[in-house]
Amino acid sequence: MLASVRIVAFLVIAPPFSNNAFPLRIKAMLSVGLALAVAPQVSRGYVSPDTGGFVLELITQVVVGLLLGFIVMVVFSAIQSAGNLVDLFGGFQLAQAFDPQMMINGAQFTRLFQMTALVLLFVSSGYQLIIGGLTRSFTAIPLGGGLALAAPMKILTDAVGGMLLSALQIAGPLIVVLFLADAGLGLLTRVAPALNAFALGFPLKILITLTLASTVFVSMPHIVEAVTGDSLQALMGVR
């Protein structure tokens, strides 16, 4: 029961299982199956407390599962944030919409990058690594061992900083090109104001974005691999 509570709390918030394409009953069945698989490991040396202690332990496992899932979500948000930056600098932000399935609010490249990352996670079996990291978390944070918040908060802070840096690294080359295009249009307007060069800004930036976005997709498998590795390191670093 304690293991399944931690696992289901993790699956509700951590990608790729947090996607609404997974019904809640499937997440519950998966959590029970994984809990039965790790039961011999987590039950070794565990002493069952009284009713009050058991309820407190249930609440602790919910907090642990949500915390671990949130750390993974923050790490994977780098890909979504990179798409958001491309939308912002490429002029697609005007078509922003809410995607109820992936539970994100963004324009075309934000949703496209997130969807591509989820597909690559399943195609490359990266989701199995995330599940493996979750099961190994029972060694790092055993049942009944409590949770010191200092280490998770430090990992979460580092994950937020790493997410921002990774987003800039993913979308950086395209953002530089779009910035140079804006600078060139500004200089052209200063030289020949009658040309109204900024009227060409939106279609030109959209053309550049669509042309150069393929370079990001070429490197997307390596990006997902690196993000998955960072997620596993974050899960193993929680004590």
What is the rounded average pLDDT of the residues 164-181? 81
Q: What is the pLDDT of residue 102?
A: 66
Burial class (CB within 10 angstroms; exposed 0-12, middle 13-18, buried 19+) of 167: buried
DSSP codes, 108-160: HHHHHHHHHHHHHHHHTTHHHHHHHHHHHHHHHS-TTS---SHHHHHHHHHHH
Structure tokens at 102: 């992936």
Question: In DSSP terms, which residues pair with 97 in a beta bridge?
Answer: 106
CB 71 within 8 A of CB 152: yes
What's the pLDDT score for residue 150?
Answer: 63
Tokens at 200, concatenated: 């060409």
Could you give phi then psi for residue 79, rounded to 5 degrees?
A: -70, -45
DSSP letter at 15? T
Distance CA 86, CA 108 (A): 9
The overall average pLDDT reported for the chain is 79
Q: Is the pTM of this model over 0.75?
A: yes
pLDDT at 41: 81
What pLDDT shows up at residue 149? 63
| Cα–Cα distance measured from residue 77 to residue 69, given in angstroms and rounded to the nearest whole number | 12
Lowest-pLDDT range, 78-87, 132-141, 151-160, 205-214? 151-160
- DSSP summary character for residue 98: E
pLDDT digits (tens, 9 = 90+) for 2-20: 888 888 888 888 888 887 7
Cross-strand pairs, 38: none
Query: Can you give the pLDDT at residue 30?
Result: 87
Report percent pLDDT > 70 for the chain. Answer: 87
Q: What is the pLDDT of residue 31?
A: 87
Q: What angle do CA 69, 72, 75 make, to 5 degrees?
A: 150
Question: In angstroms, rounded to a whole number, what is the distance separating the alpha carbons of residues 104 and 24?
Answer: 18
Residue 1: name the closest of 146, 42, 11, 229 by CA: 42
**Digit-coded pLDDT (tens) for 55-94:** 888 888 888 888 888 888 888 888 888 888 888 877 777 7
pLDDT of amino acid 82:
84
Lowest average pLDDT, out of 35-39, 89-93, 227-231, goes to 89-93
Give the span between the Cα atoms of 147 and 200, in whole angstroms. Answer: 57
Rounded to whole angstroms, the maximal C-alpha distance in the chain is: 82
